[in-house]
Structure 1
Amino acid sequence: MRARSVFVYSVLRLLAFLVPFGLLMLLPIGREFYWLSALFAAMIGLSISLLFLRTPLDEVSAGLAERREARRREASDEQVEDAATDET
């Protein structure tokens, strides 16, 4: 897994929330009901990430799957070695 892809995805997700939140806070009702601005910004950020951030998410998911598979293979190799050592 590349740290760069995780970093890029995280920054884009934060921007997808912070930009709408900042814009909503510019409105008078947004300043009065900040929790409502946060709620709408979260929904807008989720929608943006589902529509436009599919490729970075796929890269991060593929990296996590590769890491998990590598750990699984490593663990099984160790188990085979331990079993061979125990038999002798």
Structure 2
Amino acid sequence: MKLPPLLVYTVLRLLAFIVPLGILWLFPVFREYWWLAALFAALIGMSISLLFLRAPLSRASREIYAKRNRDQDRSQSDEDAEDSASGA
């Protein structure tokens, strides 16, 4: 069973945030300043995402684009509409 690319990308992004957050909570200073741990985890997750998750993002983007433009592909092109209107 093939998972949807958007689901794969979302899960990987969540893991890129949750894993660093869990590691940072192991340090006593970040247990006291939980907001600082969340901020650092978000920055680390964003960096991981930019560096390593480019391929899943591209697949998810292509799927979204294909779904949004599926109706436009089925419609007649301008040339087809002109040909049918002119009777050719």
| TM-score greater than 0.5 by the shorter chain | yes
Amino acid of the structure 1 residue aligned with 2:28: P
CA–CA distance in structure 1, aligned partners of residues 3 and 66 of structure 2: 13
- 1:8, CA displacement in angstroms? 1.1
Which residue number corresponds to residue 86 of structure 2?
none
Higher helix share: 1
Which residue number corresponds to residue 45 of structure 1?
45
Which residue number corresponds to residue 10 of structure 1?
10
CA–CA distance in structure 2, aligned partners of residues 66 and 60 of structure 1: 10
CA–CA distance in structure 1, aligned partners of residues 22 and 29 of structure 2: 13
- 1:64, CA displacement in angstroms? 0.7
Amino acid of the structure 1 residue aligned with 2:66: E
Q: Secondary structure of 1:26's match?
A: coil
CA–CA distance in structure 2, aligned partners of residues 4 and 73 of structure 1: 22
CA–CA distance in structure 2, aligned partners of residues 46 and 62 of structure 1: 21
- 1:68, CA displacement in angstroms? 1.2
Matches within 5 A, 1:1-88: 4-73=4-73, 76=75
Alignment TM-score, normalising by the size of structure 2: 0.77
CA–CA distance in structure 2, aligned partners of residues 63 and 15 of structure 1: 22
Runs of 4+ deviating beyond 2 Å: 71-74
- Structure 1: segments with no counterpart, 5+ residues: 78-88
Count of residues paired in the alignment:
75
- Structure 2: segments with no counterpart, 5+ residues: 77-88
